[in-house]
Amino acid sequence: MRSRTFTPGSSSSNGPWKKSAALTATDEVSGQTNFRGNIGYTSRSSDSGINTISGVTGELDYRHALTGKTTAEIDLTRQINAYLTNDASEIDSAATLNVTWQATYRISMQFTYSYTYRQLPGQGNAQIGDAIVATDTQRIDRLNQTTLALTYAPIPWIILKPYVSFQNRTSGNFVGGNFNSDVIGLQFSGQWQRGVIPQRTSLNN
């Protein structure tokens, strides 16, 4: 069974105002493969003109069940966002790969890799002598992040999630923008429920 939908949409916000218009499409094939995409145009500006920027934006998301336990997802996006609490604008182009393996109903493993190409018009700087001086050039950031996580639910109301994450960034036209980061951690969550939640019933019954 295959289903397709096409939905137009638009949005706006105040502050340094932002307006967007997009067309969204979804495609599902037998519950095994899902495709979702939208393409549009975004404009962001302010009275000062510092934040004024516009361009084509959108997202493509493809999800496929490789096996009964393994799912892969690829997501491509291009968005115009705020930088430094509306002081400036940035264009983010990103690609993300996510693979999930549901080993058992209690154990799952997730691998995620993402790459972001970030453009920040007018946010560049340079070191001249002992001083760092704004140059009004375009700053370029390239970010890579890889994460491997294990989710374990020994009992229904407790979830343990050990993970390891590696991240690095290289910056062009921006002094001190490069960094590397390694994180190893453990997330813990628990919940307590009192009583039984009744099942939903149809209004026509």
Which among 147, 142, 141, 145 is positioned nearest to 167, based on CA atoms? 145
Q: Is 204 a residue whose pLDDT tops 60?
A: no
Residues 6+ positions from 110 with CB-CB distance below 8 Å: 98, 99, 100, 101, 147, 148, 149, 150, 151
Top mean pLDDT of 15-29, 167-181, 191-205 is at 167-181
Top mean pLDDT of 23-37, 47-61, 163-177, 190-204 is at 163-177
pLDDT at res. 9 = 60
Look up tokens 């302010």; give the residue: 46
Q: Bigger pLDDT: 57 or 205? A: 57
Look up tokens 């997202």; give the residue: 59
| pTM, full prediction | 0.82
Domain boundaries along the sequence of the chain? 53-190
pLDDT at res. 89 = 85
pLDDT at res. 184 = 97
Look up tokens 């390891």; give the residue: 164
pLDDT tens string 135-164:
989 999 999 999 999 999 998 889 999 999
Of the given ranges (16-25, 123-132, 146-155, 185-194), which has the lowest mean pLDDT?
16-25
pLDDT tens string 7-52:
566 666 545 556 676 677 787 776 789 999 999 998 887 655 666 7
pLDDT at res. 28 = 74
- Rounded Cα–Cα distance for residues 150 and 160 (Å): 8
pLDDT at res. 200 = 65
